């Protein structure tokens, strides 16, 4: 088909860590597939290969302070400016698809619909109503409060806006089966849901040249992510400290830990086998020397660290809510959410059976080439083509298997 023109809208700091990095990787991957990307973002923090760029939260070279404005207001301002830019672009350029991120998309989606342009909305997490409920239940059970402005703290105004965006979009882009299923449970049909995937950067994340993990005397496991109830750090600590591995091994914790939650976990965090590294810039190095990544999340979209860990040769010890691309007992060990007993057993299996570790690691590394950002760009470009051609596919494009429990 003809070269595609896509308006890609990201309402915050494009290229920063977290979702900003995810969006940056995806736009570059699309450009490498020959897609002409017209990027609208709050501000652009890294060089990016696009046809044109609009920074909606920059005035005379000065960035508007998102924290001061508030994310919802900043996203709404971005949305209005992007909708106006789309109107002007469409007068001279054939825009085939508008790809928006949530919260800052409503006016842009309305404008695209009026102009007859197909639209897709990124879903980096499960259905927001579902995510709010799951996280609130876990926080209430633990007696932990999320700080004001936390992405998963109940926000009715934001939820209402996202629900309207869901209705306006032609397609909701789900990075995992778990995300798609959360929408199906809320009454959405297959024709509105497409599964794509995220990826890892091989230039940063790769297997070490000399991998000594199979024969290593020290068994190492890494938890990489925000220390909060949603990510299941409490389950990771309980399972680790209940395992034989904790007697001689090391559990690395990479990431900041939520106030209040840290105090609740203080005694477990003080165990001599637990190493708190905080936010660290050498995550790849930690993963390259760790036998496994442990991530017992209760809610995720498709955690980027699971892609990166596989590239580094760390076997996944994950919950079935992580949205990870893996198959239980083939290239990973997967437990049901909250099943600490199963997670403890999985840790001890890897610890005591290096043959099992070696087999899972080999299979994981063999499949990792299907999980690069390059592959993610190919898949997303294919989803765009299907959208333009009126095709629907309940399973999205063909991607790696997930969670054969």
* Res 401 pLDDT > 90: no
Length of the chain: 405
Question: What are the pLDDT digits (tens) for 121-174?
Answer: 999 999 999 999 999 999 999 999 998 888 899 999 999 999 999 999 999 999
Which residues, at least 6 apart from 236, have a Cβ–Cβ distance to it below 8 Å?
223, 251, 294, 295, 296, 343
Whether the predicted pLDDT of 176 surpasses 50: yes
Residues 337 and 296: their CA atoms lie apart, in Å, by 7
Q: What is the pLDDT of residue 281?
A: 86
Residue 396: pLDDT band (50, 70, 90) is: very low
The answer on pLDDT for 317 being more than 50 is yes
Check the CA dihedral 107-108-110-115 and report its sign.
positive
Virtual torsion, Cα 144, 176, 333, 365, nearest 10 deg = -130
CB atoms within 10 A of CB 214: 11
For 111, list phi and psi in degrees, rounded to 5: -65, -45
pTM for the whole thing? 0.95
**246-295 per-position pLDDT tens digit:** 999 999 999 999 999 999 999 999 999 999 999 998 999 999 999 999 99
| pLDDT > 80? residue 347 | yes
User: What integer pLDDT is reported at residue 211 of this predicted model?
Assistant: 96
Q: The dihedral of CA 12, 383, 184, 300: what is its sign?
A: negative
Predicted confidence at residue 403, as pLDDT, reads 34
């Amino acid at each position: 088909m003809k070269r595609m023109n896509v308006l890609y809208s990201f309402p915050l700091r494009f290229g920063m860590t977290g979702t900003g990095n995810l969006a940056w990787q995806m736009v570059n991957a699309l450009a490498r597939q020959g897609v002409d990307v017209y990027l609208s973002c709050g501000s652009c923090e890294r060089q990016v290969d696009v046809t044109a760029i609009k920074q909606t939260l920059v005035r005379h070279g000065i960035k508007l302070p998102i924290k001061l404005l508030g994310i919802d207001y900043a996203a709404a301002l971005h949305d209005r400016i992007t909708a106006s830019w789309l109107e002007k672009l469409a007068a001279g350029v054939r825009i085939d698809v508008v790809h928006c991120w949530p919260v800052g998309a409503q006016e842009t989606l309305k404008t695209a619909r009026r102009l007859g342009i197909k639209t897709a909305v990124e879903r980096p997490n499960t259905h927001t109503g579902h995510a709010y409920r799951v996280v609130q239940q876990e926080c209430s059970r633990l007696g932990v409060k999320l700080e004001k402005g936390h992405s998963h703290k109940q926000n009715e105004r934001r939820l209402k806006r996202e629900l309207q965006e869901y209705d306006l979009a032609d397609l909701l882009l789900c990075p995992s089966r778990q995300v798609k299923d959360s929408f199906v449970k809320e009454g959405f049909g297959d024709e509105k849901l497409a599964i794509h995937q995220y990826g890892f950067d091989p230039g940063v994340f790769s297997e070490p040249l000399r991998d000594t993990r199979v024969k290593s005397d020290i068994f190492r496991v890494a938890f990489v992510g925000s220390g909060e109830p949603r990510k299941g750090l409490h389950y990771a600590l309980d399972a680790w400290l209940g395992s034989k591995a904790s007697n001689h091994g090391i559990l690395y914790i990479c990431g900041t830990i939520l106030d209040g939650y840290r105090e609740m976990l203080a005694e477990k965090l003080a165990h001599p086998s637990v190493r708190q590294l905080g936010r660290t810039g050498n995550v790849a190095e930690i993963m390259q020397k760790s036998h496994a990544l442990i991530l017992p999340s209760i809610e995720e979209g498709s955690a980027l660290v699971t892609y990166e860990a596989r590239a580094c040769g760390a076997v996944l010890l994950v919950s079935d809510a992580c949205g990870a691309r893996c198959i239980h007992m083939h290239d990973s060990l997967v437990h049901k959410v909250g099943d600490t007993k199963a997670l403890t057993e999985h840790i001890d299996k890897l610890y005591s059976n290096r043959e099992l570790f070696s087999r899972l690691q080999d299979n994981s590394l063999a499949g990792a080439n299907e999980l690069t950002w390059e592959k993610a760009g190919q898949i997303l470009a294919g989803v765009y083509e299907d959208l333009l051609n009126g095709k629907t596919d309940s399973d999205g494009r063909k991607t790696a298997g997930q969670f054969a429990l």
